[in-house]
Chain A
Amino acid sequence: MGAMDSGGAVRGRTGARRISAIAALVLACAVPPAAAQVELSGSWRPLPRNQDGSGMTGDTAGVPVSQEGRWRADSWSPDDFDVAEFVCRPHAWDYSLEGPLSPLRLWPEIDRNTQKIVAYRGHVNMMEQETTIWMDGRPHPPANTLHTWSGFSTGEWDGDTLVVTTTHLKEAYIRRGGLMRSDQSVVRTRWRRMGDYLQATSILYDPVYLAEPYIRTTMMWINDPNMAMAPYPCEEATETAVPRGTVPHFLPGESPLPGLNPKLADGYATPYDARLGGAQTMYPEFVTKMKGMPKPTVPAPPGSVE
């Protein structure tokens, strides 16, 4: 800074250079990447995540289920997974990302003439679920077109984050214990790459089975060019433990699921009221409330907690 003290002209030139330097620094830090944005393509190996709460069948803590969602889960039977027609029902795309079988491959579809990205294609290991994220500004289809497990997705860049909006979803489960989202759901997913790490944050909006949007932030992958993607084919079952035409369910108030038994404790002795879920169980202040709640003391029988 000595030069700044030697005369006004010198101070002026030095000041201008400092402004230029600061402006360049600010530009370098704040300008979003050009049209190419961030490269999301590649093979992504999932890092461990928690996809089912405490793992106790029937536990719903932390999920903002509506009353309808609670009732739906209360009548759900694990035998539902053995219904012949649904043996090949996958975890839908948005749940597959959160689940254990989530090795992921993303690749771009590029328009040959413009060399712009028309879409990102995605493949997740769980039952070979695939998605297309349209990047060309096309509108979502009319409401009366077919709904699918992956839905219809469009993407837009928000800085270096790819923001994906998904509509036209089939009804599917959001945990493997009877928690469902309806076919009215819309999912917004934010994809962000940080070096060799990829993170997805999804916000599920469902006016039927959720009381508030459900935000999932546990999904993270590491780039692994050598990752093997195993095939995961499925053939419709014709004979299962559940006779064809039978719909397994429990009558209201008669579910034997351990999570719905107030006396049984999960591995964390989560209070029964917390296990019932609901919007309030998402928020930090609920932890304080939980401390005042009675804790179940009878250990859940083997097999009822993963």
Chain B
Amino acid sequence: MSSLRIAAVAGVLLAGLLGSSHVVFSQGPAAGRQAVWPPRIQGPAPGDLQVLPVRGNVHVIIGAGANITVQSGTDGILLVDTGTAAMSGKVLEAMKTISTRPLRYIVNTTEFEDHVGGNAAIADTGEIIPFREPNYTAGPQGALDITKASVIAYYTMFHRLAGPTGGTPKIPELGWPDNTFSIPQKRLYFNDEPVVVIHRPSNTDGNSIVLFRRSDVVSAGALLDLTGYPRIDTAAGGSIETLVDSLNGLIDVTVPARNAEGGTLVIPAHGRIADHAEVVYYRDMITIIRDRVAAMARKGMTLAQVKAARPTREYDKRYGSTTGTWTTEMFVDAVFRSLGKS
């Protein structure tokens, strides 16, 4: 055999082996597959819902508008927010995958359509436990319609959702809050767990957060949006100052575990399950933007000049938007106006 043939055989062997040595493989069931790059980590497709366990009694339904918190147990189901009206059917189906117990309570954290749109259709499927006799009409719960879930919200939300007398309500009457409060917090004990609804004016003057004390989970509502800048409705009493204050208040009720992460879990209005550190980062961003706009306003800059200076610039790629119902420009506008400038 010539040296040439020997070299050729060796070359073929080497080429084959080198080729095989570059195959990415693992020891597990995926052995032999090529790694997918970049990794696909996606939320639910538009129109689909995703149910994720959070901790203890609490799940979250993602994809129906604002995130919906579901607390369930032997007492029944308590929802925080109800998503958009169009998604109510799918939300009811998703709820059944978590619990088949009756829906007792809905807590609304804010009045935005993606939080309360499903109120009427979903509340209608529930029932509240009657206070004494079904036809009893006295006392604090006497007026409740026991054939639907009770809707809890800060009282200013009721006024705006129901609208002025003779006017057009924002949502059907069946979904209006019928269990309002006007003090700093409203407390329930439900599913063997303290549930504390804490008034936190921020996006509007009627926002609340909901603390599930045994599960150690907070449903933050629109106060925390990990997909964008927070919506501020100045006409409804929202402001950047109360938003910052309430983010600090949210931080106060989240206790991190080791290394400033984990511990109390936080369900935002949009985006992933979060924790103390995520809230701190969000608070930092909102505070920095507030400080910048305030400094620009003190210099006498007009709204147009403030927008041109892009006080949100390093955050826009992550949180900004130029389309949709809440754009970066609208956010800066609201910050500027709520600081008393116009």
Of B135-143, B168-176, B268-276, B325-333, the one contacting chain A is B268-276
Chain B 229-261: CB-based contact to A (< 8 A → 1; otherwise 0): 000000000000000000010010001101111
Q: How far is the CA of A142 from the CA of B273 in the complex (A)?
A: 11
Is residue B86 contacting chain A, with contact meaning CB distance below 8 A?
no
B314 to chain A, nearest CB (A): 4
B259 adjacent to A137 (CB under 8 Å): no
Q: Are B260 and A147 in contact (CB under 8 A)?
A: no
Counting chain B CB atoms within 10 Å of each CB, the highest count among A35, A116, A144, A245 belongs to: A144
Q: Determine if B259 and A127 form an interchain contact, defined as CB atoms under 8 angstroms apart.
A: yes
Query: Is B42 in contact with A85, judged by CB distance below 8 angstroms?
Result: no
Q: With both chains docked as a complex, state the minimum distance between the C-beta of B318 and any C-beta of chain A, in angstroms.
A: 5
Interface flag for B92 (CB, 8 Å): no
Say whether B42 contacts A143, CB under 8 Å.
yes
Asked if B25 and A156 sit within 8 Å, CB to CB, the answer is yes
Residues of A within 8 A of B38 (CB): 186, 205
| CB of B339 within 8 Å of the partner chain | no
Closest Cβ–Cβ distance, residue A100 to chain B (whole Å): 18
Give bound CA distance, A205 to B38, whole Å: 9
Roughly how many angstroms separate A142 CA and B287 CA in the complex, as a whole number? 30
A140 touching B41 in the complex, CB below 8 Å, given contacts A89-B260, A170-B277, A251-B295: yes
Write out the residue numbers on chain B whose beta carbons fall within 8 Å of the beta carbon of A127.
Answer: 259
**Which chain A positions have C-beta within 8 A of B255?**
236
Point out which of A88, A129, A138, A184 has the most chain B C-beta atoms below 10 A from its C-beta.
A88
| B13 and A26 form a contact (CB under 8 A) | yes
Quick check: is B292 within 8 A (CB to CB) of the other chain? yes
CA distance A123 to B281 in the complex (A): 25
Q: Is the CB of A128 within 8 A of B259?
A: yes
**CB <8 Å contact, A167 and B258:** no
CB-based contact A136/B27 at 8 Å: yes
Question: Of A22, A83, A149, A182, which is within 8 A of B261 by CB?
Answer: A149
Q: How far is the CA of A269 from the CA of B62 in the complex (A)?
A: 53
Contacts of B17 in A (CB 8 A): 26-27, 30-31
A298 within 8 A of B: no
Q: Would you call A146 and B272 a contact (CB within 8 A)?
A: yes
Chain A residue with the shortest CB-CB distance to B40: A140
A interface: dominant SS: loop
A135 within 8 A of B: yes
Interface residues on A, range: 35 or more
For A251, list chain B residues within 8 Å (CB).
Answer: 291-292, 295
How far is it, in angstroms, between the C-alpha of A36 and the C-alpha of B303 when the chains are bound?
64
Whether a CB of chain B sits under 8 angstroms from the CB of A280 is no
Q: Which of A41-49, A157-165, A219-227 contacts B (4 or more CB under 8 A)?
A: A157-165
Q: Which of A13-21, A52-60, A258-266, A285-293 faces chain B?
A: A13-21
Contact A145 B314 (CB under 8 A): no
Do residues A137 and B28 form an inter-chain contact, with CB atoms below 8 A? yes
**CA–CA, A158 and B33, complex, Å:** 12
User: Given that A15-B1, A168-B41, A186-B39 are contacting pairs, would A85 and B251 also be in contact in the complex, using a CB cutoff of 8 Å?
Assistant: yes
Inside 8 A of B248's CB, which chain A residues have their CB?
A: 244-245
Do A128 and B258 touch (CB < 8 A)?
yes
| Cβ contact within 8 Å between A249 and B291 | yes
Q: Are A142 and B50 in contact (CB-based, < 8 A)?
A: yes
A22 B6 Cβ-Cβ under 8 A: yes
Contact A12/B1 with A85-B251, A155-B26 known, Cβ cut-off 8 Å: yes
| B28→A182 contact, CB < 8 A | no
B200 at the interface (CB under 8 A from A): no
Alpha-carbon distance A247/B248, docked complex (angstroms) = 11
> Would B261 and A136 count as touching, CB distance under 8 A?
no
Tell me if A170 and B14 are in contact (CB < 8 A). Answer: no
B301-341 vs A, CB cutoff 8 Å, 1 = contact: the mask equals 00000000100011111100000000000000000000000
Pick the residue among A11, A86, A188 that contacts B1 (CB under 8 A).
A11
A85–B26 touching, CB < 8 Å: no
Which residues from chain A contact B318 at a C-beta distance below 8 Å? 182-184, 208
Considering the complex, which residues of chain B in the window 156-182 have a beta carbon less than 8 Å from any beta carbon of chain A?
none
Residues of A within 8 A of B309 (CB): 252
When distances are taken between beta carbons in the complex, the residues of chain A under 8 Å from B261 are 148-149, 170
Complex Cα spacing A234 to B261, Å: 12
B183 contacts chain A at the CB level, 8 A cutoff: no
In angstroms, how far is the closest chain A Cβ from the Cβ of B296?
Answer: 9
- A71-B313, A144-B272, A149-B261 are contacts. A18–B6 as well, Cβ < 8 Å? yes
A239 is an interface residue with CB less than 8 A from chain B: no
Tell me whether B132 is interfacial, beta carbon within 8 Å: no
Interface positions, chain A 212-243, Cβ under 8 Å from B, are 233-234, 236
Q: Is the CB of A157 within 8 A of B26?
A: yes
4 cross-chain pairs, A with B, having the tightest CB-CB distances, nearest first: A137-B28, A137-B30, A15-B1, A71-B314
21 A-B pairs within 8 Å (CB atoms) are namely A31-B17, A35-B27, A83-B280, A86-B277, A128-B259, A137-B29, A140-B41, A144-B271, A145-B273, A148-B262, A149-B261, A156-B26, A157-B25, A157-B27, A159-B22, A163-B35, A167-B39, A170-B278, A207-B317, A233-B258, A236-B256
Binding site for A on B (CB under 8 A): 1, 5-6, 9-10, 13-14, 17-18, 20-22, 24-31, 35, 37-43, 50, 52, 60, 62, 248, 251, 255-256, 258-262, 265, 271-278, 280-281, 283-284, 287-288, 291-292, 295, 309, 313-318
9 extra interchain contacts, Cβ-Cβ under 8 A, other than A32-B20, A170-B277, A249-B288?
A18-B6, A19-B10, A23-B13, A68-B317, A137-B29, A143-B272, A144-B271, A148-B262, A155-B26
